[in-house]
């Protein structure tokens, strides 16, 4: 029963990390412009595809790093802390910023991506 509860908690954190990854990509790409019709509708589909696919990849990296940090470090340190959820959420946001800055540096500065 404990394994099932822990798996459900990590599933919630993973979903939150995936949403943060998509949110990061939305910030990077900017909001979608006006609704296009005809041939220009293809660009809307490409925007949506890029937003979701790259956002899910970034969110997966965020989730992987968060779960590693949580299993090996946070679980021991926050065992009896009443604010553990807030601290974990703050750590998730910090990881998101680190992944975002790393992505920006690799894409714009070093031009690897």
**One pLDDT digit (tens) per residue for the chain, 113 residues:** 888 998 999 999 999 999 999 999 999 888 877 777 777 788 888 888 989 999 999 999 999 999 999 999 988 888 888 888 899 999 999 999 999 999 989 988 898 87
What domain range is 20 assigned to?
2-109
Closest by CA position to 6, among listed 67, 61, 64: 67
Helix or strand (DSSP H, E) at 13: helix 2-29
pTM, two decimal places: 0.86
Write out the DSSP string of 42-105. HHHHHHHHHHHHHHHHHHHHHHHHHHHHIIIIIHHHTTT-TTHHHHHHHHHHHHHHHHHHHHHI
Q: Which residues of 38-53 are buried (b: 16+ CB within 10 A; e: fewer)?
A: eeeeeeeeebeeebee
Collapse the DSSP code of 20 into the 3-class scheme (helix H, G, I; strand E, B; otherwise coil) and give the result: helix
Please state the domain count of the chain: 1
Q: How many CA atoms lie within 13 A of 16 on its CB side?
A: 17
């Amino acid at each position: 029963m404990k394994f099932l509860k822990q798996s459900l908690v990590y599933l919630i954190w993973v979903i939150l990390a995936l949403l943060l990854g998509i949110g990061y990509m939305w910030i990077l790409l900017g909001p979608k412009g006006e609704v296009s019709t005809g041939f220009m509708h293809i660009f809307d589909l490409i925007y949506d595809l890029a937003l979701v696919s790259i956002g899910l990849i970034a969110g997966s990296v965020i989730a992987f790093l968060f779960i590693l940090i949580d299993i090996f470090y946070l679980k021991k340190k926050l065992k009896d802390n009443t604010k553990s959820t807030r601290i974990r959420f703050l750590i998730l946001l910090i990881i998101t910023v680190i992944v975002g800055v790393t992505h920006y540096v690799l894409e714009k500065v070093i031009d690897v991506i």
